[in-house]
Homo-oligomer: A and B are copies of this chain.
Amino acid sequence: MPVESETARQPLSTQRILHAAVGFADEHGVEALTMRKIADELGCGVMSLYNHVANKEEMLAGMVDLVAAEIVPPAVGGDWREAMRASAATAHDVLLTHHWAPAEWSLRMPGPARIRYMDALLHVLSEAGLSSELVYRGYHAVTMHIVGFTLQQIGYRRGLTGDLEDLAGAFLADLADDYPYMAAHVHAHLAGDGHGDEFGFVLDLILDGLDRANAGS
């Protein structure tokens, strides 16, 4: 009986592994991600993964690059600030859904998709008429803002698992006297003040600053 091939087990591949791993990290966080768990998810043995992935570190790098590939790069040719804003917004969305990604992003060498994205950002800034120095600095400012701001947002959210009232209430009761400004800030967070695209607000601060610095020189 050479049969017995139940549903013709589809073969493993780097892409299939990476997709499974990203899905798992989205759901359970990257600290719970284990080679064995990914193997279970794919219905294969652990060591089979190593035929397509050098090691866990490289797999994580591949996962980050898969996320980078989801980001829509900015369009070249039109209003450069609008293009940057639109692309940054998609990056923000993508990094928020893959909430484990920002922490990995900065600590790893960029993969192909991320390099493609970096090149697109630099392309737009270069075509914007900025001085080469401002392109260089503006690129760092914008990318820093995208991942840094998102990272901060995620950290804030993580602190708020469980009952929001309880946690903030206990905090305020304990520390409001000693740290009044901090307490007011927490209050503002809870009240949802200052909302309305905080991400975009800081981005505009940077983009407008670049524009002004360019005009002033």
Binding site for B on A (CB under 8 A): 103, 105-109, 115-116, 118-119, 122-123, 126, 132-133, 135-137, 139-141, 143-145, 147-149, 151-152, 154-155, 158-159, 175, 178-182, 184-185, 188, 193-194, 198, 201-202, 205-206, 208-210, 213
Known: A106-B155, A148-B148, A179-B115. A140 touches B198 (CB 8 A): yes
Q: Once the chains bind, are B140 and A106 in contact (CB under 8 Å)?
A: no
Q: Once the chains bind, are B136 and A185 in contact (CB under 8 Å)?
A: yes
B residues within 8 A CB of A119? 178-182
Q: Roughly how many angstroms separate A206 CA and B142 CA in the complex, as a whole number?
A: 12
Which chain B residue has the least Cβ–Cβ distance from A210? B205
B residues within 8 A CB of A185? 118, 122, 135-136, 139
Q: Roughly how many angstroms separate A182 CA and B110 CA in the complex, as a whole number?
A: 12
When all copies of this chain in the complex are counted, the total is 2
B residues within 8 A CB of A159? 109
Main secondary structure of the interface of A (DSSP, over half): helix
Known: A119-B179, A181-B123. A141 touches B202 (CB 8 A): yes
Q: Once the chains bind, are B179 and A144 in contact (CB under 8 Å)?
A: no
